[in-house]
Amino acid sequence: MSFVPVISLSPARASQEISDEMRAACLRNGFFQITEFNHILSSELLSRTLSASKAFFDLPLDVKSALFKENHICGGYEPYKAMNLDPGDKSGYGHNEGYSVASSGYPTAWPAEQILPGFRATMEEYFTAVNRLAGVVSGYLALGLDLSPDFFGDFFHGQLAHIKLAHYYRPEHSQGDEGSVGVAPHTDWGAITILLQDSVGGLEVFDQDSLRWIKVSARPNTLVVNLGDLLARWTNDRYKSTRHRVTSPPQGIHRYSIPFFSQGHPDYVVQVINSCIRPGEVAKYNPIRAEEYFKLKFESTYSIPALIARDP
């Protein structure tokens, strides 16, 4: 089995076959790629969404900065080097800028239509489609745990998901490894992450067996899926949430990616699934509300000085 296998979601395949492949990946490292999902999310929409992301980051800095992301729930602009996913490492601030789109019903600071025509419509269309795809994937994950396919349904209904447009580049005149950290090594916070990326690449996953970083190829019309800490917690660590990182592209090259983060309904209480507790084991984690968990993670990750300065 490949370290990060490619799994077809073709409607012609049996659900159990797809579920078995996902289960094997989740037990190993929680990473896999999916393809043949055009019946849920079209390749045309993937391409259009990436193009809209690039157009946003091409806007002048003062325009982007006026769309500042105020807190962990809302959407908006995140300045260059505002985020450090390895708080213990002061050099871990990623060389990227971002823009988040919040769930429906939560505020997002949108650019005016006359500034970026069609941007909001494209992002909302993509959000709806990828959110639906996350629900489909969750059904296969549930089957892999011998649960009903709708087991995670209440968690996903009205959830605090968001998509994050990310733009990676090295500082001007950087030399050697300077600016090589696109995103520091980390695990994701939530349940499921679905990553759309361009052809530049840069995602690497840590292999605990070989103690090496493994590059994940950027494939056309393919999305990367990984499990977050919350789902690992939910399964008493039977399903894995694995450290990964992003290396910045070479000087003069720009990388664009759009992860979708599934954080769950804010009031949903996540507690260890009984069937995931093996004989002789106990639940490793106490129950926790999804929003409480997300807020704690957010506040430990973002640089307050960078957010105040709003300046790359």
| Separation between Cα atoms, residue 148 and residue 36, nearest integer Å | 24
How confident is the model over 195-209, as pLDDT tens digits?
Answer: 999 999 999 999 998
Is residue 179 within 8 A of residue 171, CB to CB? The reply is yes
> Best-predicted range by mean pLDDT among 180-189, 267-276, 287-296?
267-276
Q: Which fold has domain 18-309?
A: Jelly Rolls (2.60.120)
Average pLDDT over every residue of 59-73: 90
* For residue 309, pLDDT beyond 50: no
pLDDT band at 132 (very low <50, low <70, confident <90, very high): very high
* For residue 152, pLDDT beyond 60: yes
201 secondary structure, DSSP code: -
Supply the pLDDT for residue 306.
Answer: 43
Q: Residues 232, 262, 134, CA angle at the centre, nearest 5°?
A: 95
| Separation between Cα atoms, residue 102 and residue 163, nearest integer Å | 7
Q: Which of 34-38, 41-45, 132-136, 248-252 shows the lowest mean pLDDT across its residues?
A: 248-252
Domain boundaries, the chain: 18-309
How confident is the model over 225-277, as pLDDT tens digits?
Answer: 999 999 999 999 999 999 999 998 988 899 999 999 998 999 999 999 999 99
In terms of C-beta density within 10 A (0-12 exposed, 13-18 middle, 19 or more buried), how is residue 267 classed? exposed
Average pLDDT over every residue of 140-148: 96
Tokens found for residue 155 = 């968690």
